[in-house]
């Protein structure tokens, strides 16, 4: 069985599933390589605009690094040149990625979720970076992404204690975009993905590209990026199609160019 699968779940929407439920979807070398390939496949496909990432089984989104692999001296196999840990956390991505978290997102699994643009989680799921409990640190982006996503004091507490944050509380802090009933994370994430995919893909892309730099640049630089993004959007056929569809009282037919 493939440890990572990619399927078309809706028009312009891909569903990516980590399939190691017997190991709580922990990352080994096979998963890292397969997830790296999945990202490349989706990012290079002009007909795919949004991706939902989840883990099979309902118990765990992902338990992080497979400690059996680490103890066997195969830690380096959990990284790829482009994606780094899990073939994902540092991978250049232009499409919208949504984590669908069912169960626990633990350690590197939490870091994978944080590396996505949005998170949809079931109300029974949890998030944790427990690395300090084992003398480790969340070096796959967790330390700074958690601090950006949560109020400072809450992020500091999670990083220093390693304790779990329930999804219900995570939603109150804005870490989770949408909460679903138990078992409904994938459905909820796909609903959000379909909503996003109903919009002009270039406009969505350009908007998120600027937003992703919000912590890196000052207001003047970000304003300049916004103007450049506007020029690219105005040069597309979709820039004409959107207002025309509104005037003609019909759904727009986006071309993504």
Q: Which residues are catalytic, by number?
A: 111, 131
Burial class (CB in 10 A: 0-12, 13-18, 19+), 253: exposed
Kindly state the helix (H) or strand (E) to which residue 43 belongs, with its residue range: helix 29-43
Cα-based angle 96, 97, 102 (whole degrees, multiple of 5): 150
Selection from 234, 195, 228 nearest residue 209 by Cα: 228
- Cα→Cα distances 98→29, 54, 189, 192, 233, Å: 23, 9, 7, 9, 23
Kindly state the helix (H) or strand (E) to which residue 224 belongs, with its residue range: helix 219-234
**Structural contact between residues 87 and 34, judged by C-beta atoms closer than 8 angstroms:** yes
Determine how β-strand 13-18 pairs with β-strand 4-10: antiparallel
Token pair of 228, please?
A: 């450049």
Return phi, psi of residue 74, to 5°.
-110, 30
């Amino acid at each position: 069985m493939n440890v990572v699968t990619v399927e078309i779940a809706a028009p312009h929407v891909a569903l990516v599933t980590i399939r190691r439920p017997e190991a709580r979807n922990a990352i080994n070398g096979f998963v890292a390589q397969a997830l790296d390939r999945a990202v490349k496949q989706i990012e290079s496909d002009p007909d795919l605009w949004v991706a939902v990432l989840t883990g099979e089984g309902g118990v765990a989104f992902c338990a992080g690094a497979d400690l059996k692999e680490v103890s066997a001296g195969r830690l380096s196999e959990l990284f790829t040149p482009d994606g780094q840990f899990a073939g994902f956390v540092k991978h250049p991505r232009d499409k919208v990625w949504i984590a669908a978290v069912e169960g626990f997102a633990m350690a590197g699994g939490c870091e994978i979720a944080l590396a996505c643009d949005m998170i949809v989680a079931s109300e029974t799921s949890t998030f944790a970076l427990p690395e300090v409990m084992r003398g480790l640190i969340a070096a796959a982006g967790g330390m700074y992404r958690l601090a950006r996503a949560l109020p400072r004091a809450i992020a500091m507490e999670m990083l220093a204690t390693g304790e779990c944050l329930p999804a219900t509380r995570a939603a109150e802090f804005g870490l989770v975009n949408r909460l679903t009933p138990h078992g409904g994370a994938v459905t909820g994430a796909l609903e959000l993905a379909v909503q996003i995919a109903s919009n002009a893909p270039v406009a969505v892309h350009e908007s998120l590209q600027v937003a992703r730099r919000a912590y890196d640049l000052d207001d003047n630089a970000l304003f300049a990026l916004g103007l450049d993004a506007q020029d690219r959007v105005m040069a597309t056929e979709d820039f004409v199609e959107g207002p025309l569809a509104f005037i003609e009282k019909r759904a727009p037919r986006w071309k993504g160019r």
